[in-house]
Structure 1
Amino acid sequence: MMKSKLNTRKRNLGQQQGFTLIELMVVLVILGVLFGLVVPNVTGRGDEARVTGAKTDIKTIENALETYRLHNSHYPSTDQGLDALVAKPSGNPEPRNWRGPYLRQKPTDPWGSEYAYINDNNNNFEVISYGADGQPGGDDLNQDISSNDTE
């Protein structure tokens, strides 16, 4: 009787324990459901972050433009552009009291394009990101983000 118990133990120790095919399939189905629910919710967040980043950048540029105006009594012209915030511009109107740089470098939007700058010469300006496609107009992620629209 003692010998049969030892033989049974040896056989049990020699057998490998593993997962059955059904157990593996159940785990794969559960992982598939989790990825199906989580991934779509996470992937859209990057696009939302870019839009928020562009709005934040525009506010920063607006603040730099206001400081430029306080020092020089006017905003840079459309021709001088946002470069006037990084290096002293030439041309009209001449910045007589330029104390920059007002920004460390010329800003680019979260999609890698330069911000557009328009000054109507009436001390009204607009800073624009043309969105993901870099073209005027568009919907969703391609929609323009303007200093006139941000609050």
Structure 2
Amino acid sequence: MKDYILVFLVSCLVGAGYCYRDLLLPSSGCVTTKEDRDFNSLGASLLTYQKRVGHLPTTEQGLKALVERPTVPSLPKRWKAMMREVPCDRWGRAYRYIRLREGDPGRFEIWSAGKDGIDGTEDDISSLPPE
């Protein structure tokens, strides 16, 4: 009987260890970066803005339109702040934003110029999936 209890306890500990590991150390497929979280947050705010105003902010208005009423056309009639502040990338620089063509499925792109701060280099991080 003692053997069965010992086997049961060891099994429980091993199972608890696996659960603990999965919760605190997610697999490589589940790891998210600051940029992933920011892109999701900004993307949701942009889609809410679009539903409220009728269109996405223009490239000129940028992500700033999520926190301050735009002053360049096209001026929204039903504007409301979508965020308290626009987050910066992990290097403390502003994300870049461009509104794509209307027929484009992504409709917008948000990106970080990466560690070097220069657009168009290998370390850039984009909200769009890789081509």
1:1-150 equivalences under 5 Å are 52-99=33-80, 101-122=81-102, 124-139=107-122, 143-149=123-129
Higher RCO (CA-CA < 8 Å; seq separation 6+): 1
CA shift, 1:137, in A, is: 3.0
CA shift, 1:125, in A, is: 1.0
CA shift, 1:70, in A, is: 0.5
CA shift, 1:89, in A, is: 0.7
**CA–CA distance in 1 between the matches of 2:102 and 2:63?**
17
What residue ranges of structure 2 are gaps of 5+ in the alignment?
Answer: 1-31
- Amino acid across the alignment from 1:111: W
Could you say which structure has the larger radius of gyration? 1
CA shift, 1:93, in A, is: 1.5
Q: TM-score, normalised by structure 1?
A: 0.58
1:100-124 C-alpha deviation (Å, 9 max, x unpaired): x211112210111100001135271
Note closer, same or farther for the CA distance 1:121–1:80 as it changes in structure 2 (3 Å cut): farther
What residue ranges of structure 1 are gaps of 5+ in the alignment?
Answer: 1-50
1:45-97 C-alpha deviation (Å, 9 max, x unpaired): xxxxxx81011111110010000000001000011011100011122211111
Quick one: percent identity of the two aligned structures?
A: 38
Query: SS of the residue aligned with 1:64?
Result: helix
**CA–CA distance in 2 between the matches of 1:125 and 1:149?**
12
Q: TM-score, normalised by structure 2?
A: 0.67
Corresponding pairs, count? 96
Higher helix share: 1
Do 1:55 and 1:145's aligned partners in 2 also have CA atoms closer than 8 Å? no
Moved over 4 A (4+): none
